Chains A and B, each alone.
Chain A
Amino acid sequence: MTPMQQMIESAVRGQLALQRCVKCGTVQYPPRELCSTCLADQLEWRTTDTENGEVLASTMLHHSHEAAFQEALPICVGLVRLDPGPTVLCFLTESCDVGTRVRIAASNDAAGRAMLTATPIA
């Protein structure tokens, strides 16, 4: 199973799985087979219900290349810096200003892919 498939498996159980390097402690995303910092291949999964983070940038999509998304436009998407380190691209449940604190959860979309969604922390 590839690292991405393992992340998808976790998402099926409602869990957000991020890779953590056993050697140097780097937490990374997107998942891959080596640590991007020290190149070790001993990576463990840091699995949580949610991760918190901060919105770095956001956009409202009015155009999509896929029919399934076209029906749902406009779609709000953001880049969020997770507190453990990495930046994730994710859906935003509502339009958020830069700097907004959000909580990220993982689920699966209709195609079975891992899907990260950020909700502002009230």
Chain B
Amino acid sequence: MALDYGDVVICTPVTVPYVRRSEQSASWWLGTALRRLLEVSGLAKQQVDGLCLSSFTLAPDGPAPFVQYVGLSPRFLEFLPTGGACGVMALRRAARAVQCGDAEVVACIAGDTNGPETFHDLVAQFSSFSRDCVWPYGAGGPNESFALLTNHAMRRTGATREDFGKLCVAQRQWAQLNPLALLRNELTLQAYLAAPPIALPLHLFDCVMPCAGADGFLVMSRARATSLGLPCVRIIAAIERHNAFPDDPIQWRGGWAVDADALWQQAAIGPDAIDVVQTYDDYPVISMLQFEDLGFCAKDAGADFIRRNDFGPGGNLPHNTGGGQLSGGQAGAAGGFLGLVEAVRQLTGGAEGRLVPGARHALVGGFGMINYDRGLCTVAAVLAA
């Protein structure tokens, strides 16, 4: 079993409020998240001696140009361009750096801008495989890739549009309680089902909305957080896996299925002890895969699991309690942070207006990088109040 994370904690979740379109650069979004981390923590910039950065739209700049841009002098620097997996990956690396003394305070920041052509250009040039072997087949972007995975998963599990709609509607109910969510108007199951087709079986409300934004958090020792008066949570387990099951002809399981047992063993609790679940949800099929592969239900029982549980406010399994990406928007790499900052808010009492009473344990999942036919990066973390 991997070494535990000891007295390392995560604190000060911040969000630079998302907007649909932005003329600011990625550096503005990331730097503004850093400023908010300093404001909330009371730390001086020089006291942040580690940085984990994630962004798709920072080019031609990278992590080193960014530290000069914002005037930091860290002794620990990570760049994690892994999309939906970057949040837990940043947390794991930052926690080990603090635990081993390579840094005392690590700022973890993810964000992206979204100009008129940003999303088009990002998808068209996402990777060499994607550019040569995906984009020429209709240029549907992630909608197309997830449509294929959804088609397969519906056949495998018997999941219906109503099942995915149930998840989307519950998340919209949470979003209505979260002023940071971009989509807060009411969404009924009828409206979900009547939405225009995008890439069958996906319709409009199955598809995440690209936007601009940034999220961040700090990682430090419990003693440091306590001396600063910052509410914090412990990391009791975390896993990551890349390119799992390369011989599966199509992705019907993610890397979580390899590592879930290790996750729960390290956490010393099981899925039944989780009070709030934050799955990665750019498309609802991926939430279902996480329920299955992380052991909330048996494999192939995802549809039945959705039918048996209530995921909205007041439900038995509060899920994506800030609205998730489907109602919050996907600010590029910040999508990999969204579930993590929401989990910390829930466990530290910061989720004003939507707090799950008495929540002590949270699970956060991540899924990133559809390079060709499948998502390559999977992560999960269990946090404890």
Interface positions, chain B 325-341, Cβ under 8 Å from A, are none
* Residue in A closest to B129 when the chains form the complex, CB atoms: A30
Q: Which of A36, A63, A90 contacts B198 (CB 8 A)?
A: A63
Interface positions, chain A 38-82, Cβ under 8 Å from B, are 56-66, 69, 75, 77-79, 81
Count B interface residues, CB 8 Å. 35
Bound Cα distance from A36 to B243, whole angstroms: 12
* Residue in B closest to A88 when the chains form the complex, CB atoms: B133
5 more A-B residue pairs beyond the given contacts A4-B128, A62-B199, with a C-beta to C-beta distance below 8 A: A29-B133, A65-B139, A79-B152, A81-B249, A89-B373
Q: Which of B128, B140, B149 contacts A77 (CB 8 A)?
A: B140
Q: CB-CB < 8 A to A81: which residues of B?
A: 249-250
Whether A66 and B151, one on each chain, are in contact in the complex, defined by CB atoms closer than 8 angstroms, is no
Bound Cα distance from A66 to B138, whole angstroms: 8
Judged by a CB distance under 8 angstroms, whether A1 is at the interface is no
* Residue in A closest to B202 when the chains form the complex, CB atoms: A59
Judged by a CB distance under 8 angstroms, whether B72 is at the interface is no
Q: Residue among B119, B123, B138, B148 with the most chain A CB within 10 A?
A: B138
Whether B249 and A59, one on each chain, are in contact in the complex, defined by CB atoms closer than 8 angstroms, is no
B interface residues with partner A (beta carbon < 8 Å) = 119-120, 123-124, 128-129, 132-134, 136-141, 143-144, 147-149, 151-152, 155, 196-202, 246, 249-250, 372-373
Whether A69 and B138, one on each chain, are in contact in the complex, defined by CB atoms closer than 8 angstroms, is yes
Bound Cα distance from A29 to B152, whole angstroms: 21
* Residue in A closest to B204 when the chains form the complex, CB atoms: A63
Whether B139 and A77, one on each chain, are in contact in the complex, defined by CB atoms closer than 8 angstroms, is no
The 4 closest A-B pairs by CB, nearest first: A59-B147, A66-B139, A57-B148, A57-B152
Q: Which of A57, A63, A114 contacts B143 (CB 8 A)?
A: A63
Q: Which of A4, A56, A66, A91 contacts B132 (CB 8 A)?
A: A4
* Residue in B closest to A98 when the chains form the complex, CB atoms: B155
Q: CB-CB < 8 A to B151: which residues of A?
A: 57-59, 98
Q: CB-CB < 8 A to A111: which residues of B?
A: 136
Bound Cα distance from A65 to B124, whole angstroms: 9
Whether B148 and A59, one on each chain, are in contact in the complex, defined by CB atoms closer than 8 angstroms, is yes
With A30-B372, A59-B151, A65-B124 already in contact, the answer to whether A87 and B249 are too (CB < 8 A) is yes
Judged by a CB distance under 8 angstroms, whether A94 is at the interface is no
Bound Cα distance from A114 to B129, whole angstroms: 12
Query: Nearest-CB distance from B126 to chain A (Å)?
Result: 12
Q: CB-CB < 8 A to B202: which residues of A?
A: 59
Whether B250 and A87, one on each chain, are in contact in the complex, defined by CB atoms closer than 8 angstroms, is yes
